[in-house]
Amino acid sequence: MLSIIFREYFFLRQRIPIFLYVFYIHFRDLDNPLIDRIIITLLTFMGLISAYTFSAFILKIPFSDMIPFTWTYYGLIHWCIFFFFFFHIANRKGMNSLKSFTLATLATVGGGWLYEVPFFYPESMFISRLSIFYINTQIVCLLCLLYEFMKMKFRPNKIILTMLMIFLAFSSFLFFRKVDPISENIINSFLINNIWFYRTPASLLLISLLSGVKNQNEMMKNV
């Protein structure tokens, strides 16, 4: 099963988030215990994959021997941790399981594009033949995420602005390193020795956006 999932990763990434978002739009106002059980099952499954991946990483088993997909332990583990953090914080903000799960999915898929585009920007990063919309679904995910935040009366704050400045500064270094060989060597050396940091600025920016929305339970009381 894992072989099928990861072999078709790029195809599924361009479709599953949109299907999930449509499902969320249709059932967001429905208080159905079955949906909560489905979310719990999916979270459990993802937790097992995370534990499986982290164990293999600790044991120094080659990634390709564990998962038939061209990627790295760093990327998979990072985005798994990010997903659970985002889901937990969204849930603490009074969002139900379906909404928290949907927003976490949009943020995770979109985050994979956001951190990468400053230094990797081929046409496929913007246009994809696998996408339902022809536009890369990762971009659509970010737009849907921002749309949902705006519906929750999103307001920027110091935390968000700080994370945005850090992200822009780091992205600028990644973008301009190709122009200056000295900067490129310094930055590449830093990233090689601190590879876990690579995706961190984009991740912190996305998570910080949750601080710009009010607790949904408090909003309901004021309605």
Q: Is residue 86 part of a domain?
A: yes
d(CA 151, CA 144): 11
Count other Cβ atoms within 10 Å, centred on residue 35.
Answer: 18
Q: Is residue 223 part of a domain?
A: no
Q: Encode pLDDT of 21-49 as tens digits.
A: 999 999 988 878 899 999 999 999 999 98
Top-confidence range, 14-18, 119-123, 138-142: 138-142
- Name the residue type at position 73: Y
pTM for this entry? 0.88
Residue 1 has pLDDT above 80, yes or no: no
Residue 11 counted as domain residue: yes
Identify whether 75 is part of a domain: yes
Quote the distance between the C-alpha of residue 34 and its chain's center.
25
Confirm whether 102 is domain-assigned.
yes
In angstroms and rounded to an integer, the radius of gyration of the C-alpha atoms of the chain is 18
Count of domains forming the chain: 1
d(CA 152, CA 214): 7
Question: Is 169 in contact with 176 (CB distance < 8 Å)?
Answer: no
Residue 186: the pLDDT is 64
What is the C-alpha to C-alpha distance for residues 1 and 116, in angstroms, rounded to an integer?
Answer: 28
Q: Which residue has the higher pLDDT, 161 or 54?
A: 161
3 state SS of 127: strand
Q: Is 153 domain-assigned?
A: yes
Q: What is the dihedral of CA 54, 18, 161, 115, to 10 degrees?
A: 50
Tell whether 190 is covered by a domain.
yes
In this structure, is residue 209 part of a structural domain? yes
- Contact, 167 vs 201, CB < 8 A? yes
Q: How far is it, in rounded angstroms, from Cα 207 to Cα 106?
A: 12
Q: Could you tell me the residue range of the domain that residue 69 belongs to?
A: 2-218
Average pLDDT of 149-176? 91
Sign of the torsion angle spanned by Cα atoms 152, 211, 93, 13: positive
In angstroms, the CA 121 to CA 127 distance is 11
Q: Does residue 187 surpass a pLDDT of 80?
A: no
